[in-house]
Amino acid sequence: MLRSRVGLLVAALGLALVVPGTSATAGPEPGAPLAVNATPGQTATIPDWRLQSSAKATQAGDAISSPSYGDTGWLPVPARSTVLAGLIANGKYPDVNYSTNLKAVNAADFKVPWWYRKVFTADPQAGVNTFLKLNGGVISRGEVWLNGTKVAGSDQVVGAYPNYDFDVTSLLRKGDNALAIKAFPSDPANDLAIHFIDWSQLPPDRNQGLFRDVQLAQSGPVSLRTPRVTTDLPLPSLATADITVKAEARNNTGSAVTTEVSGAIGSVTFKQTVTLAAKETRTVSFTPSNTPALKFSQPQVWWPFQMGGQPLYTATLSAKVGGVESDATRTTFGVREVTSRINQGGRTFEVNGKPFLVRGGGWASDLFLRTDVKRIDDQLALVKNMGMNTIRLEGKPENDELYDTADRLGIMVLAGWECCSKWENYGSFDAEDNRVAGQSAESEAKRIRNHPSMIGFMIGSDNAPPAAVEKIYLDALARAEWNLPVISSAAAHSSPQLGDPGMKMDGPYWWVPPNYWYDKRLGGASGFASEVGPGATIPELDELKKFLSQSEITSLLDYNAAQFHLAPSGNFSKLSFWGTALDNRYGKPSGVEDFVRKAQLANYEVNRAQLEAFGRNWSDASKPSTGVIYWMLNNAWPTVYWHLYDYYLATGGSYFGAKTAMRPLHVQYSYDDKSLAVVNTGLQDVSGLNVQVTVFNADGTQKADEARPVTAKGNASVRVGALPQPSGLSTTYFTRLLLKDGSGKVVDRNVYWLSTKADTLDYDASTWYHTPQTGYADLKGLGSLKQGKVSVTASTAAAGDNRTTSVTVTNTATDKAVAFFLRASVRKGTGGAEVLPARWTDNYVTLWPGESTTLKAEYRASDLGGATPSVEVSGNNVPKAVVSAPVR
């Protein structure tokens, strides 16, 4: 979010295949050029590095950081690159995503430090100061050298997150300069670093190295640092907003300096004259008290996407000394206010005075901490398309691009520290750990505090910190002027100052049936469940083939077999009782294709139920639901569990079950009491609606059809009676819910496959990760449906590089046969690979004879690879149809 005038040069890297030896005599190898010119206010980002193991580059830092040092044979790696990420980029290993190839990486290679090196040119001038900025630490710790001189040792540069700002003015030379950083081995059990816990197989280097930008910033006698903007709304009114702009002005000289600090937000300008003592740093503040124009009238207010728009403002600041610019910076912000309180034990957030039901997902960074901005944008676009309003970051705070995108899209972000590593081994903290913990909290808070998408920070995950550590964090957040909710833990653990977090972490993390979510015990829909989900999420077969061998795909049918692409922990290394439930509810799969097809059904129905239950209970008078984080949103590395879309950004039954549940104006069924409800996530009431509920036997016979009027209350749920219970229902039957407006237009559609036999659970035998199932719904009738018949037409519209393919599907059966669970996909030509990512309006739809629906997919033309789009449509009882979808 913080922006100086940044010059970022992107390297076109020629990648080697192996890590060769090092010559100390040959000259340095060129990378992307980097010139540091004497221009105050300019920041240059290191565009790339050369990388080598200290087992091969055995010289000391003074030699390696000499401009004349020979780095021939070192590996070129990107600006943000852990050691393993750099080796992968250089082709040292076969595809580490595929099969068990990750096992081929020798972890012993990362038991020694690795060197990062960059040669750049500089033209230092008198009166211009240069600062070396590490925008995040070195994993696990670093040694920093410039031109043969140690800038900082490994006792100073420690941990993944602290920021550093070193004055290197005296070390710069005219001409060639060399910067070298030595990254030490990482052990998440002993270092305040990054750990992927049981989210996937672990990176063998434990993320050793650099994962954030390193920069050289220049300024004159006065530098500006950490600009921030706070906004205060006189809630419930949004008619005005008090804007406060601050920054630190730092005197870089040994004498007193008078500086004029000025700024602007659009047409509103402000300035102050400040005299700084030698080496003094002082906060410069602009408030409505000293700048009346900072009381905005009729401000453009920023909202989560469900509630309104996402207007953004930019504040610019500059410092002049003697009329000459000394430094400049800027930051983007939104006018919004977040508050939080405990409501009957559950934490409730409010945005701009309006209660905000959190329905979010747990974010997983790339396993090797690589930054792919397009991939981040694509993922958050899928999140918004799904209707999910929040992302939770458990540790692994992302780089700025994620927050920037969340700001633009209106997706809230709940950040905090991780569990199950040094971060929560509080009893082992020594003086260094205390220092690094505080530096980490302060650095991260300063980095993310301006983002309107931020909703809070958790200083603990599975455990709350004890008094001493809590004080370290709270003092650090106070220094950073953090003004959002601070929460002691993601579990129900209080801390001395913060008290009750209003969170629960009672599981499940593995299979439970749909009706589990409606019960208010354990992880069911009451209070705020900070991480819960039904475990295994099997992608479609095309996706499985991208990362599993055929034998590994076949082995998924053995539920007691350990799977490398499940978790490394014993509890989640096998499909186990997830598969048992699949067999008992849907019937034992006849083969791989049948297994994948039934998995999509199970994923769809249970994910829909989880998120619908929290939506329904939002308005309950007793023990309402206040928030839920689906565990997890995405994958760090390809797996067959814990995701709503898969590693390759494909959207299966898991995604569309969730998307159905989170439609902005939505009609739904309740698995506990068979009631119907309408959930409205907008702020305004919607009147004149009708719910049409129709019940069908599996053979297509209509058993009941009723219509009920309803007004959908804004930001609330309302009940609309119960599901009809006609006699003569087949064991497996269907319910179709249609929500219609006053004109009869369908504004929401929801189809359930249900059973006259209930799923049952043994709550008394619950563990931290599941509640055993003792009886199973009988949905086996889905396997003997009459074959359905559909017609399909498709076309594609173009707008620049954007493509929208429209697919109209009609059930043309002349009997009563339903066309069940129809999936459409866009292909790169007939028989080609699926176009990914694609944002669909809906998918996995069910139609009765005479019904028709149009599905739309948005994607990039460049992802077609030059082919004409083709569409495939198939269903559980409908053979595949293929049609061309040419651009028109």
Who's near 436: CB < 8 A, 6+ residues apart?
Answer: 158, 159, 162, 192
pLDDT at 137: 80
Who's near 590: CB < 8 A, 6+ residues apart?
Answer: none
pLDDT at 9: 32
pLDDT at 30: 57
Cβ atoms 758, 775 nearer than 8 A:
yes
pLDDT of residue 8 exceeding 50, the answer is no
Q: What is the pLDDT of residues 346-385, one digit of tens each?
A: 999 999 999 999 999 999 999 999 999 999 999 999 999 9
Who's near 292: CB < 8 A, 6+ residues apart?
Answer: none
Q: What is the 3-state secondary structure (H, E, C) of 692-745?
A: EEEEEECCCCEEEEEEEEEEECCCEEEEEEECCCCCCCCCEEEEEEEEECCCCC
pLDDT of residue 228 exceeding 90, the answer is yes
Handedness of CA 65, 68, 74, 76 (dihedral sign): positive
* Average pLDDT value over all residues in the chain: 95
pLDDT of residue 418 exceeding 90, the answer is yes
pLDDT of residue 288 exceeding 90, the answer is yes
Cβ atoms 450, 229 nearer than 8 A:
yes
Gap between the Cα atoms of 382 and 405, Å rounded: 12
- Collapsing DSSP to helix, strand or coil, 781 comes out as helix
pLDDT of residue 113 exceeding 80, the answer is yes
What integer is the mean pLDDT of 270-291? 97
The pairing of beta strand 390-392 with beta strand 358-362: parallel
Q: Which of 462, 612, 834, 872 is catalytic?
A: 462
pLDDT of residue 544 exceeding 60, the answer is yes
pLDDT at 40: 81
What integer is the mean pLDDT of 255-277? 98
Gap between the Cα atoms of 13 and 15, Å rounded: 6
User: pLDDT confidence of 570, banded at 50, 70, 90?
Assistant: confident
Task: Report angle CA 197, 199, 205 to the nearest 5 degrees.
Answer: 60
Our answer to whether residue 462 is catalytic in this structure is yes
Our answer to whether residue 552 is catalytic in this structure is no
Rounded to the nearest 10 degrees, how much is the dihedral formed by the CA atoms of 586, 591, 596, 598? Answer: -10
pLDDT at 19: 28
pLDDT at 303: 98
290 DSSP assignment: T
Query: Which of 8-17, 155-164, 459-468 is predicted least confidently?
Result: 8-17
pLDDT of residue 11 exceeding 80, the answer is no
Structural tokens at position 64 = 């390696």
Q: Which of 205, 400, 506, 531 is catalytic?
A: 531
Q: What is the pLDDT of residues 56-107, one digit of tens each?
A: 999 999 999 999 999 999 999 999 999 999 999 999 999 999 999 999 999 9
pLDDT at 514: 98
pLDDT of residue 769 exceeding 90, the answer is yes
pLDDT at 381: 98
User: pLDDT confidence of 127, banded at 50, 70, 90?
Assistant: very high
- Collapsing DSSP to helix, strand or coil, 401 comes out as helix
What integer is the mean pLDDT of 740-763? 97
- Residue 18: strand pairing partners: none
| 3-state percent breakdown (helix, strand, coil) of the chain, nearest 5 | 20, 35, 45
In percent, how much of the chain has pLDDT > 90? 94
Query: What is the maximal distance between C-alpha atoms in the chain?
Result: 92
User: Is the bond preceding residue 508 a cis peptide, omega within 30 degrees?
Assistant: yes
What integer is the mean pLDDT of 571-585? 96
What integer is the mean pLDDT of 247-256? 97
Q: What is the pLDDT of residues 627-646, one digit of tens each?
A: 999 999 999 999 999 999 99
pLDDT at 29: 58
pLDDT of residue 112 exceeding 90, the answer is yes
pLDDT at 778: 98
What integer is the mean pLDDT of 438-462? 97
pLDDT of residue 35 exceeding 80, the answer is no
Q: What is the pLDDT of residues 605-626, one digit of tens each?
A: 999 999 999 999 999 999 999 9
- Collapsing DSSP to helix, strand or coil, 382 comes out as helix
